[in-house]
Amino acid sequence: MAITAAEVNKLRKQTGAGMMDCKKALTETNGDFEAAIDVLRKKGQKVAAKRGDNEASEGLIFAQTTEDGKTGVMVRLNCETDFVAKNDDFRDFVQSLVDIAMKEMPASIDELKNAAYNDKLSVNEKITEHVGVVGEKLDLSGFEVVNAESVVAYNHPGNQIAALVGLNSASAEAQDAGRQVAMQVAAMNPVALNKEGFDQETIDRELEVGKDLAIQEGKPAEMAEKIAQGRLNKFFKENSLLSQAFVRDNKKSVEQFLKDTESGLTVVDFKRFAMS
């Protein structure tokens, strides 16, 4: 039977597949729309199985906040090449995943993967279907949520780095400061909010490394212990967000910058993603 351009376009809009793939699927199924969708879905499964071991180190990261500004979500979807990552259809697809995350507010990445993408497919199934569209391995590798009195989202140009910062105030001044801190998070990659945020394993490792370095430098054991503690304090200062030197005025810490902006203002949580 003859397949019309309108039918091909309808299938393309629903699945995101290419025009020729849509026409081929409709021809193969004699114009059966639902069967054609299944054909395209199976194509995605075949491509996914074939490319499962490939490295997916490219992709996009989107951070976004709710209208009330009290919740932020961040999604990272990996692909194999920057050619796909820079495609508008891929960008739209990542945005659709963010929209679902904003609507459903899943508690984990697994919950997001199992959430309904539409009335027929889960997010995970839709990603597999989209593999058939782009012809590359896709991996939903990151999902984070931040809840606070005010949450600021920052997307670095190119969407290769993004950050969410939660604050204890929703004033206009706090939100402006929060954006500057979110840019700091993106640029400086802090490990924890403050020194209390580091686990004991990390602390022990830094002390051990600091002590070994001091001994290698010829310092006696009792002095090596003090030197290691000093190096640990420097590690805390450089890798704790609130203790880091503020990038726009390195004479003050991020903590001091926030207090100077508004009495009592501080960061209560932050998240950062970067394409590796």
Per-position DSSP letters for 219-265, written without gaps between them: --HHHHHHHHHHHHHHHHHHHBGGGSEETTEEEEEHHHHHHHHSTT-
Give the pLDDT confidence of 93-124 residue by residue, as tens digits. Answer: 999 999 999 999 999 999 999 999 998 889 99
Q: What is the pLDDT of residue 1?
A: 62
Q: How far is 267 from 261, CA to CA, in rounded Å?
A: 12
What integer pLDDT is reported at residue 14 of this predicted model? 76
Q: Do domains 5-50 and 52-147 have the same CATH topology?
A: no
Nearest C-alpha neighbor of 17 from the set 121, 100, 128, 112: 128
Q: Which pLDDT does position 241 carry in this prediction?
A: 98
Task: Give the chain's residues under pLDDT 50.
Answer: none
Q: Which CATH class is domain 52-147?
A: alpha beta
Q: What is the pLDDT of residue 217?
A: 87
Cα 48 → chain centroid: 22
Contacts of 61 (CB under 8 A, 6+ apart): 74, 75, 76, 142, 155, 159, 160, 161, 162, 273, 274, 275
Choose among 140, 143, 116: nearest CA to 128.
Answer: 140
Domain borders along the chain are: 5-50, 52-147
The domain made up of 5-50 is a member of CATH 3.40.50.2300: no
**Residue 201: predicted pLDDT:** 93
